[in-house]
Amino acid sequence: MSTLKILPVILCGGSGTRLWPLSRESYPKQFIRLLGSDSLLQQTLRRLKVVDGVEPALLVLNETSRFIAAEQLREIGIENATILLEPMRRNTAPAIAAAALHALSKGEDPLLLILPSDHIIKNVVAFRAAVSDATQAALSGDLVTFGITPRHPETGYGYIRTRGSESDKVLRVMEFKEKPDRATAERYMASGEYYWNSGIFMFRASRYLEELGQFHPEIVESCNSAVTAAIKDLDFLRLNGQAYALNPDISIDYAVMEKTKKASMVKLDADWSDIGSWASVLEASQRDRNNNAIHGDVILQDCHDCLVHGTSRLVTAIGLRNVVVVETADAILVMNTEHAQDTKKMVSKLALEMRPEVPNHREIFRPWGSYDAIWNGARFQVKSIKVKPGGKLSLQLHHHRAEHWIVVTGTAKITNGNAQFFLTENQSTHIPLGVVHSLENPGRVPLELIEIQSGAYLGEDDIVRLEDQYGRV
């Protein structure tokens, strides 16, 4: 008898706009350390240690996040995960299909445990028990979802209506319901038949593809082509973009779960939260005697039921009730907790105005480290640059700007035209316009430096890469 194998598939493609301004397209919420020292992705991966028969995880994510994810895996000592890169976002149904086809291409048909990368599950013992219950149903051919017993009449979640007795470990799914209004949510709670839809699933790879093939054969076909033509790119597996682009933007709920006759549900009462809004962050956080949750350099006076999150400066508040305040280096959000689901509307409004605060933080992360544009003028820009040990900026040149580098801490290996040399603290070099240059951290401690740019145009697209160890040429 073969050993049971469970392949965790971690979905990392979300943009997390409801947690703006902390979560942004270039650095979404699953990579942020919102609750504790680990990011939400790292917490998800650590949680898998309690699951019996679990295989090394398979992550599906947008290629723009690939180096962030790889670095966070390295931080917690995970070296054997597989990372599938989506050329573009196409929602969960195609992402899971690609994962299932990749698993089958290895000659195996494992149980897939589908996990969003941005959930909180505090009771790992209950999580393990629920996975065990779901395993038996999935082995029998069911497509299993995990339902959360409602704690309040939530209007921000979808619901699952079930049939079965309270003692049953596996319930039959009768229907899925969209996010309800308040009165409908209260009726769902009172009936005892409805559960929050967690977005966690378990099934055989082949069974998912069979069901998906009945309702959306075009997804199976395009994903099969994308996986077959995938190419190895450093430590990543890049799905074929031309084939993957043919997929519709559709979730697993709409594509399969709402249509299949083989859907079942296991209860997951494990202190779960999907961290889908700032209100849910407040609920999941440790709070003081006035029910306030604070993060960063924050001082409150006569405030109750508030979340105040500071990142770059002192934040003070007086006399607030049911208010969220989130401060970052370039944007501040203030709102009533009752409007927590409306953050997405504000982000859409800002996007229409082409505000750079929507896609990017002021601190931009790169595979070699990060930079922070700390001061901007008409023809100059000052950046703080951090290069991790072993990190190296591409060999490049600029057509419109010159640069001056001043080392603050660490040692830098410099290429400046035909010269190569080392700089240490308080030493500097000037790179004239059009000169080929590069920067590397050869040491074992982080390298920090100040970069002063000057010129007629200072955009990031004025970079001509000649060589790059991260494959970005």
- Which pLDDT value is given to residue 360? 87
Estimate to the nearest angstrom the gap between the alpha carbon of 8 and the chain centroid.
Answer: 16
- Which pLDDT value is given to residue 30? 95
- In the three-class reduction of DSSP (H, G, I as helix; E, B as strand; rest coil), residue 307 is classed as strand
**Which class would CATH give 363-467?**
mainly beta
Closest to 64 measured CA to CA, from 369, 353, 359, 346: 359
- Which pLDDT value is given to residue 2? 53
Measured in degrees and rounded to the nearest 5, phi and psi for residue 98 equal -65, -40
List Cβ<8 Å contacts ≥24 apart for 173-182: 173/145, 173/257, 173/263, 173/264, 173/265, 175/258, 176/253, 176/257, 176/258, 179/155, 180/155, 181/155, 182/153, 182/155
pTM to 2 decimals? Answer: 0.89
- In the three-class reduction of DSSP (H, G, I as helix; E, B as strand; rest coil), residue 188 is classed as helix
CA gap 320, 318 in Å, rounded: 6
Let me know: does 140 contact 231? Beta carbons within 8 Å: no
- Per-residue pLDDT tens, the chain, 473 aa: give them: 357 899 999 999 888 889 999 999 889 999 999 888 999 999 999 999 999 889 999 999 998 888 899 999 999 999 899 999 999 999 999 999 999 999 999 988 999 999 999 999 999 999 999 999 999 999 999 999 999 999 989 888 899 999 988 778 899 999 999 999 999 999 999 998 999 999 999 999 999 999 999 999 999 999 999 999 999 988 899 999 999 999 999 999 999 999 999 999 999 999 999 898 999 999 999 999 999 999 999 999 999 999 999 999 999 999 999 999 999 999 999 999 999 989 999 999 999 999 999 998 888 888 899 999 899 888 999 999 999 999 999 999 999 999 999 999 999 999 999 999 999 999 999 999 999 999 999 999 999 999 999 999 998 899 999 999 988 87
- Which pLDDT value is given to residue 22? 95
Estimate to the nearest angstrom the gap between the alpha carbon of 462 and the chain centroid.
Answer: 28
DSSP helix, strand, coil percent of the chain (3-state; round to 5)? 25, 35, 40
Let me know: does 93 contact 250? Beta carbons within 8 Å: yes
The two tokens of residue 202 are 């378990």
On the question of a cis peptide bond just before residue 359, with omega within 30 degrees of 0, the verdict is no
Superfamily of the domain at 6-273 = Spore Coat Polysaccharide Biosynthesis Protein SpsA; Chain A (3.90.550.10)
- Which pLDDT value is given to residue 26? 87
CB atoms within 10 A of CB 444: 9
- Which pLDDT value is given to residue 155? 86
Q: Give the domain ranges of the chain.
A: 6-273, 279-352, 363-467
User: Cα–Cα distances in Å, from 50 out to 45, 54, 125?
Assistant: 10, 9, 8
- In the three-class reduction of DSSP (H, G, I as helix; E, B as strand; rest coil), residue 197 is classed as strand
pLDDT one-digit tens code per residue, 189-242: 999 899 999 999 999 999 999 999 999 999 999 999 999 999 998 889 999 999
- Which pLDDT value is given to residue 472? 80
CA gap 333, 237 in Å, rounded: 37
